[in-house]
Amino acid sequence: MSSNIYDFSTLTGSIHASLSGMMSSGWVTFTELVLVGLIFLTFYALIGLFLVYLERKVCAIMQNRIGPNRVGKWGIIQTIADLIKLLLKELIPIRKSDKLLFNLAPFIVIVTTFLGLAILPFAKGLQAIDFNIGVFYVMAVSSLGVVGILLAGWSSNSKYSLIGAIRSGAQIVSYELSVGLSLLAIVVFSGTMQLSGIVESQADGWWIFKGHIPAFISFVIFLVASTAEINRGPFDLAEAESELTAGFHTEYSGIKFAFFFLAEYMNMFIVAALGATLFLGGWMPFHIGNWEGFNHIMNFIPSAVWFISKTFFIILIIMWFKWTFPRLRIDQLLTLEWKYLLPISLFNIVLIAFIVLMGWHF
Amino acid sequence: MNSIAKYFTDLFKGISSLWAGMRITGKYFFSPGAIVTQQYPENRKTLKMFDEFKGEVIMPHDENNLHACTGCGICEMNCPNGSIEIITNRVANAEGKLERVIDKHIYHLSMCTFCGLCVKTCPSDALAFGQEFEHAVFDRNKLTKVLNQPGSLIKKEAKK
Amino acid sequence: MLNRQELTDIIRAFEPETEFPEGTQLLEAIVPAEKLFALVEKLTSDTKTAFNYLISLTAVDFTTHMTVVYHLDSTEFRHLIVLKSLLSDRENPKTDSLTALYATAEFFEREVFDLFGIRFNNHPNLKRLFLEDDYGYPLRKDFRDEVNIIER
Amino acid sequence: MSEEILKDVIVGENEDYIINMGPQHPSTHGVLRFEVCLKGETVKYLIPHIGYIHRGIEKMCEANTYQQLIHLTDRMDYLSAHMNNEAVCLCVEDALQVEVPERVKYIRTILDELNRLASHQLWWCAFGMDLGALTSFFYGLRDREHILDIFEESFGSRLLHSFVTPGGLMHDVHPNFQKRVKEFITYFRKKLPEYDQLLTGNIIFQNRVKDIGYMSRETAISYGVTGPSGRGSGYSCDVRKIAPYGAYDKVQFNEILETGGDTFARYKVRVAEMWESMNIIEQLIDNIPEGDFTAKMKPIIKLPPGEYFRRVETARGELAVYVVSDGNKTPYRMKFRTPNFSNLFVMNTLTAGHKIADMIAISGSLDLVIPDIDR
């Protein structure tokens, strides 16, 4: 079915086989866990730093500015310098704060992003865990992040933080619905929750093209709702810097602040990657009908490149939103969800079910 | 039915208005055009302030180390913040008459608000605004400057 | 728009004790402090004058007495008038508040209280506006602050 | 602050949820503190606390001559520095009955309008930023840069240019002045529609600003709200029309009035005023008469004893200068009726019952400059 020539399952399989030859099965699992963990840590840091740099550069160009240009050529190591600065900064303890929860909150936030990262299929066979309920798992994990935000706001013993946290709670709880429904659309189309299965089902065309207009609608809803779920502008009410100074992470400093900051960007990456996987075919190359030659050339582009470029395409759209629109008010935010997104996506899912039943999709 | 039509027209209008905004930022993303930001420390060589720029008060000296300050004290009197202090001496001139000569024209840059009254009111045009603007120092005493250069004398024409 | 003479006549009819100094830039009326509120009330409600806009409320310390100065304007007719009330008790000056007539008077009066120490009767919230509670009244001519103010 | 007040502020009477916005807060645009009492996200009441940047300009003026105190007025409303200077100068010229040359009047008026444009541009960017549209901030500042360059070329300073003196100007404008102003007008006429596309038409923006912070005409008059904020409520309060000064009686321009009274009306007034300012400048810039840049003035100005009062329209409303002179070279008492002082205190009336995010929008729409309030 797949015409992909870059299959990582042979590579991972051979690593597994050679490790099994050397040690007992328990140790093999342990070594593989450590290896995957190390790879993810490196990847996490790299992507996080790059996304921060990208955001600053993109918004600078949109705002007719130059952006970071001092540290390194085109300011390319600016974010590394910022990270070092954040590492060296004092962790300011807050009096009358709940110490345990205050320290725990950034870790909860960052751990959930790690969990989300585990499910992403970067290329064929390059996926940490391939659950059969992958979509469900992502939904579950991504809604855990709000716990960290709520704890951060509550334990800071700051009024701004508390308002930010409660806003964030209301926001994420409601937008979870739309995200879930828009993901469900693809699940209905492909008939599986397994992410690798969803990608495989798009070998002959991406769902955004195959699924007619309903798939496009759910893609737009997914974009809007997931932007809201990761607390990014124009839905960044939880941190609303002009109202709440910095919202839930007002009282955090140093590396703990960096955790929140990094988690925000990683969330954006995860959401974009998920969107790319579900709607834009994941690591599947771009194929056009019967153009054999064209399709063949597309196959030569490595699957990981396809995946990353689709992800960054969605990231750019999310950034474009943020740097264009004003922030919504909390009641308008909820109105948008409950009056517009939710009814539309409910209707949409019924439509999709009908289409799938009739077998009208490609 | 009317309300449903309104629902969808509102939705459409909303989305098109959002698109109008995104077109603007998108336009700048692909064609940034002229950027007004100055790359300051890099362009120090080419950076030229306007002639009228009020960087600091200076006392122009010519090539013979002559200035035009008679030490009349009008600038000191006109300064709203007391950032000018004038110390004068009485020196015997060629004809043996005692004459008022400026000893030190002290200028406290830290107190100056660049209102321009000293330059405007100076009867002999001895003061002017300099274009120097990099005034940051580590010791605020360095902001107190003596405007007349050591050993400088007054121009003949400036004497009344 | 009423001219100077017409305004003078109207105010004189409202409050006979008013004095009108000669040769002023704008029409000025010196009103006894206790009569001021009643006069301004009439001036605001009368349809011919309709002084509904308090441009500024301030005070001047003349060392012998305090003067509270009101600049009134009519948004309808755009005629200006300056009302003054002299407060001879410099140590403990008191006059009536105009808060009931102009909302903005509340804050102008707080400012005047802050800077001059003039108390306004019937003011809803007469607290200092800019300065600390134990600071003097800086715009009084006998105010001295050796620490913060350098005299030339 | 006494003990019980402190207790009151921190705990609140009936355990109200009080947050202190400011003096260090991104949206108060300066050192202003709003004591906001919240019920959920809704503002119950709001108390402005001012005085953090009180410098005693009125007291300082009493020790300065009329020429010297000009530079203090710059520091009140730093965004309409030129209008502040002009107010004092007009007052002094009134008192001395000096007729300034026509050239001075024209240049002063052009500078007034340029300064108003620069101020409204800065307001526009800050207002967008208050609502979370960060891009507007940079677009506004980018265009403002061109005006500041014109200022710098002519006066030597970009923001606080004490360029006006009693009787005229400090020195003549730069020879490039006319050319650069015309270039700027052509440039900005192209850029201003972008402002509308980016923000004014935006559905999110409109929902954020429409029907919040309603101020009736009566409220505006009673609170003494002037300038674009007052004109958004249909209150005709433009001093340029009521008592024309400078060259305003020689130009055709409209007083922008909106009857909405909400935050969006105030927004529309300011954007329309930018167009109107450009109209005024275009009418004047080609017709600047030749002549002296100052009238003949004595080196030491002594006002005849008496009281003088003069109003001008700054970018934020009506600035009134009240001078009491005892015949000395320094004023006996100088009072500045600053527009922001009155505009600020209407905040409580406007915000009660709105969301906390609306409060930010409303305070942004009033265009407060804090040093102007504290003086």
Instruction: Please indicate, yes or no, if residue A261 is contained in any of the structural domains.
Output: yes
Chain D residue nearest residue B13, CA to CA: D203
Q: Residue D233's domain is classified under what CATH number?
A: 1.10.645.10
Supply the mean pLDDT for chain C. Answer: 82
- For residue D4, pLDDT beyond 60: no
Report the relative pairing of strands D164-165 and D42-49 from DSSP bridges. Answer: unpaired
Q: Which of residues 17-36 of B touch A (CB under 8 A)?
A: 18, 21-22, 24-26, 28-29, 32-33, 35-36
User: Would you call B35 and A63 a contact, using CB atoms and an 8 Å cutoff?
Assistant: no
State both tokens at A338.
Answer: 């409950």
User: Would you call B20 and D202 a contact, using CB atoms and an 8 Å cutoff?
Assistant: yes
- b/e burial code for range B124-140 (CB count within 10 A of at least 16 → b): bebbebbbeeeeeeeee
What is the residue range of A47's domain? 10-88
Q: Using CA atoms, how far apart are residues A137 and A119, in angstroms rounded to an integer?
A: 8
**Among partner residues B21, B78, B114, which is closest to D202 by beta-carbon distance?**
B21
- Indicate if D87 and D25 belong to the same structural domain: no
User: Would you call A332 and D198 a contact, using CB atoms and an 8 Å cutoff?
Assistant: no
- Indicate if A277 and A217 belong to the same structural domain: yes
Mean per-residue pLDDT, D216-232 = 87
What angle is formed at CA B31 by the lines to CA B25 and CA B37, rounded to 5 degrees? Answer: 85
Mean per-residue pLDDT, A122-145 = 79
- Among D33, D49, D65, identify where a domain stops: D49
- Indicate if D116 and D262 belong to the same structural domain: yes
Instruction: Enumerate the residues of chain C whose CB falls inside 8 A of the CB of residue D330.
Output: none
**pLDDT the model gives residue B32:** 78
- Among A88, A121, A146, identify where a domain stops: A88
Asked if C136 is an interface residue toward chain D (Cβ–Cβ < 8 A), one would say no
Report the relative pairing of strands B66-67 and B153-154 from DSSP bridges. Answer: parallel
**Among partner residues D133, D202, D355, which is closest to A330 by beta-carbon distance?**
D355
Mean per-residue pLDDT, C25-46 = 82
User: Would you call C24 and D94 a contact, using CB atoms and an 8 Å cutoff?
Assistant: no
Q: pLDDT band at D1, cuts 50/70/90?
A: very low
Q: Where is pLDDT greater, at A201 or D139?
A: D139
User: Would you call D356 and A243 a contact, using CB atoms and an 8 Å cutoff?
Assistant: yes
What is the residue range of D342's domain? 57-374
**Among partner residues D235, D333, D337, which is closest to C75 by beta-carbon distance?**
D235
Burial class (CB in 10 A: 0-12, 13-18, 19+), D134: buried
State both tokens at A203.
Answer: 């070998």
- Among A38, A53, A88, identify where a domain stops: A88
- For residue D93, pLDDT beyond 60: yes
Neighbours of chain C (3+ CB pairs under 8 A): D
**pLDDT the model gives residue A361:** 66
- Indicate if D296 and D322 belong to the same structural domain: yes
- Among A55, A70, A88, identify where a domain stops: A88
**Among partner residues D219, D221, D335, which is closest to C53 by beta-carbon distance?**
D221
- Indicate if A289 and A311 belong to the same structural domain: yes
- Indicate if A194 and A341 belong to the same structural domain: yes
Helix, strand or coil, per DSSP, at residue B14 = helix
- Indicate if A191 and A47 belong to the same structural domain: no
- Among D13, D31, D49, identify where a domain stops: D49
Chain D residue nearest residue B128, CA to CA: D156
Residue-wise pLDDT for B31-66, tens only, equals: 877 777 888 888 888 888 887 888 888 888 888 888
- Indicate if D282 and D344 belong to the same structural domain: yes
Q: Which residues, in sequence order, are bridge partners of residue D334?
A: D323
**pLDDT the model gives residue D14:** 59
- Indicate if A187 and A276 belong to the same structural domain: yes
Instruction: Enumerate the residues of chain D whose CB falls inside 8 A of the CB of residue A325.
Output: 132-133, 202, 204
User: Would you call B114 and D72 a contact, using CB atoms and an 8 Å cutoff?
Assistant: no
Instruction: Enumerate the residues of chain B whose CB falls inside 8 A of the CB of residue A64.
Output: 28, 32-33, 35-36
Mean per-residue pLDDT, A274-297 = 76
Instruction: Please indicate, yes or no, if residue A3 is contained in any of the structural domains.
Output: no
- Phi, psi values for residue D196, rounded to 5°: -65, -40
Mean per-residue pLDDT, A203-207 = 74
Asked if B15 is an interface residue toward chain A (Cβ–Cβ < 8 A), one would say no
- Indicate if D163 and D241 belong to the same structural domain: yes
Q: What percent of chain A has pLDDT above 70?
A: 95
Cα-Cα-Cα-Cα dihedral of A345, A350, A355, A361, to 10°? 30
Instruction: Enumerate the residues of chain B whose CB falls inside 8 A of the CB of residue D64.
Output: 80
Chain C residue nearest residue D94, CA to CA: C25
User: How close, in Å, is residue D192 to chain C by CA atoms?
Assistant: 32
Instruction: Enumerate the residues of chain D whose CB falls inside 8 A of the CB of residue B11.
Output: none
Asked if D351 is an interface residue toward chain A (Cβ–Cβ < 8 A), one would say no
**Among partner residues D64, D68, D153, which is closest to B52 by beta-carbon distance?**
D153
Mean per-residue pLDDT, A199-204 = 76
Chain D residues contacting C via beta carbons under 8 Å: 1-2, 50-51, 54, 56, 58-59, 63, 94-95, 219, 221-224, 235-237, 242, 306-309, 311, 318, 320, 322, 324, 332-333, 335, 337, 341-342, 345-346, 349, 374
- Indicate if D44 and D134 belong to the same structural domain: no
- Indicate if D40 and D158 belong to the same structural domain: no
Closest CA to B54 of D67, D76, D107, D152: D152
- The region of weakest confidence among A137-151, A281-295, B77-91 is A281-295
Neighbours of chain D (3+ CB pairs under 8 A): A, B, C
- Indicate if A177 and A206 belong to the same structural domain: yes
Domains and CATH numbers, chain C: 4-121 (3.30.460.80)
Instruction: Please indicate, yes or no, if residue A158 is contained in any of the structural domains.
Output: yes
Instruction: Enumerate the residues of chain B whose CB falls inside 8 A of the CB of residue A58.
Output: 29
- Indicate if A42 and A98 belong to the same structural domain: no
Chain B residue nearest residue A341, CA to CA: B11
Asked if A233 is an interface residue toward chain D (Cβ–Cβ < 8 A), one would say yes
Supply the mean pLDDT for chain A. Answer: 81
- Indicate if D15 and D77 belong to the same structural domain: no
| Spatial contact of D176 and D252, defined as CB atoms under 8 Å apart | no
Q: What is the pTM of this model?
A: 0.87
Q: pLDDT band at C107, cuts 50/70/90?
A: confident
Asked if D149 is an interface residue toward chain A (Cβ–Cβ < 8 A), one would say no
**Among partner residues D69, D155, D199, which is closest to B52 by beta-carbon distance?**
D155
**pLDDT the model gives residue A2:** 43
Q: What number is the ipTM of this complex?
A: 0.84
- For residue A268, pLDDT beyond 80: yes
**Among partner residues A159, A233, A330, which is closest to D357 by beta-carbon distance?**
A330
- Indicate if A59 and A106 belong to the same structural domain: no
Residue-wise pLDDT for B68-78, tens only, equals: 888 788 888 88
Chain D residue nearest residue B130, CA to CA: D156
Instruction: Please indicate, yes or no, if residue A30 is contained in any of the structural domains.
Output: yes
| Spatial contact of D23 and D1, defined as CB atoms under 8 Å apart | no
**Among partner residues B15, B21, B113, which is closest to D198 by beta-carbon distance?**
B21
User: Would you call D222 and C69 a contact, using CB atoms and an 8 Å cutoff?
Assistant: no
**How far lies D92's CA from each of D108, D315, D317, in Å?**
15, 21, 21
**pLDDT the model gives residue A5:** 59
DSSP for A173-230? HHHHHHHHHHHHHHHHHHS---HHHHHHTTTTS-HHHHTHHHHHHHHHHHHHHHHHHT
What angle is formed at CA A15 by the lines to CA A9 and CA A18, rounded to 5 degrees? Answer: 135
- For residue D169, pLDDT beyond 70: yes
Supply the mean pLDDT for chain D. Answer: 84
**pLDDT the model gives residue B160:** 52
Q: Which of residues 303-332 of A touch D (CB under 8 A)?
A: 323-332
User: Would you call B24 and D299 a contact, using CB atoms and an 8 Å cutoff?
Assistant: no
Residue-wise pLDDT for A213-252, tens only, equals: 778 888 888 888 888 888 887 888 777 777 777 778 888 8
- Total domains in the fold of chain D: 2
- Indicate if A253 and A309 belong to the same structural domain: yes
User: Would you call B26 and A323 a contact, using CB atoms and an 8 Å cutoff?
Assistant: no
User: Would you call B24 and A66 a contact, using CB atoms and an 8 Å cutoff?
Assistant: no
- Total domains in the fold of chain A: 2
Cα–chain center distance at A62: 23
- For residue A6, pLDDT beyond 70: no
- Indicate if D41 and D99 belong to the same structural domain: no
Cis, bond preceding D23 (omega within 30 deg of 0): yes
